[in-house]
Amino acid sequence: MLNIFARASVSRVTDPIGAVLVRIGLTPNGMTVIGTVGAVGSALWLFPTGHLLAGTFAVWGFVMLDLLDGAMARARGGGTKFGGVLDSTCDRIADGALMASIAWYALENAERPHLGVAALICLVLGQVISYIKARAEAAGLSANVGLVERAERLIIALVGTGLQGFGVPYAVDVALWLLVAGSVITVGQRLVAVHQSAAEAT
């Protein structure tokens, strides 16, 4: 949902940066890989050991690099089909690592199984939400709707870990269970959208 309203504003900021990065010799695919490796490494290193605040800022910083690969692709005249697949694949890896690391923290460090369950549910639903859209588009259908898309999932999860890192009790719990609810709604929205798109195509 945020993607629809924020894309133009974000592009005005990231496009000049992307052009500079291209001029110094970096590639969009390289930036995608750097951001993914950094986000995965930060999440799996910091969250399970209880460093929630540091993990939040580190993961957020590397995730922000994901905005630059698109800007760099535009600076080069457009992205490639491989770049699009790589970007989507790396997004799934980073998202999975984030939720897995929170589950690891909950089960190992905090000894809170219910929080771990919420994180694992979010991990699965996040992958399903993305898969529905990808599978629909591959079939020539539309599923471009959703209350909780990738941007919202990252914001909600990282706001929760950040507040918990600042000492706000149960912030992660509230964030993840809200995310579970929003993700369930989003799965339903996308399935309905695909059904409607399929009916219109017949």
In CATH, what number is assigned to the domain containing residue 119? Answer: 1.20.120.1760
Show Cβ contacts of residue 180 under 8 Å, excluding neighbours closer than 6 positions: 118, 121, 122, 125
Per-residue b or e along 122-134, where b marks 16 or more CB atoms closer than 10 Å to that residue's CB:
bbebbeebbebbe
The CA distance from 109 to 88, in Å, is 31
Q: What is the pLDDT of residue 2?
A: 52
The answer, yes or no, to whether residue 79 has pLDDT greater than 60, is: yes
The proportion of the chain whose per-residue pLDDT surpasses 70, expressed as a percent, equals 94
Distances (CA, A) of 59 to 49, 78, 158: 15, 27, 8
Query: What is the value of pTM for the model shown?
Result: 0.90
3-26 confidence digits (pLDDT tens): 555 555 566 777 788 788 888 888
The proportion of the chain whose per-residue pLDDT surpasses 90, expressed as a percent, equals 67
159-187 confidence digits (pLDDT tens): 999 999 999 999 999 999 999 999 999 99
Q: Which of 60-69, 112-121, 144-153 has the lowest mean pLDDT?
A: 60-69
User: Do the beta carbons of residue 2 and residue 151 sit within 8 Å?
Assistant: yes
Given 66, 69, 87, 91, which residue is catalytic? Answer: 91
Domain that holds residue 125: 2-201
Look up 69 and say whether it is catalytic: no
Helix axes 150-165, 113-138, angle to 10 degrees: 160
The answer, yes or no, to whether residue 68 has pLDDT greater than 70, is: yes
Q: How many other C-beta atoms can be found within 10 angstroms of the C-beta atom of residue 19?
A: 14
Long-range contacts of 186-192 (CB under 8 A, 24+ apart): 186/125, 186/129, 186/146, 186/147, 186/148, 186/149, 187/125, 187/128, 187/129, 187/132, 189/145, 189/146, 189/147, 190/129, 190/132, 190/133, 190/136, 190/143, 190/145, 190/146, 191/132
Q: What is the mean pLDDT of the chain?
A: 90
Helix axes 28-46, 52-75, angle to 10 degrees: 170
The CA distance from 117 to 147, in Å, is 22
pLDDT band at 111 (very low <50, low <70, confident <90, very high): confident
The answer, yes or no, to whether residue 158 has pLDDT greater than 90, is: yes
Number of domains in the chain: 1
Tell which phi-psi region holds residue 77, choosing left (phi > 0), alpha (psi between -120 and 50) or beta.
left
Q: How many other C-beta atoms can be found within 10 angstroms of the C-beta atom of residue 66?
A: 20
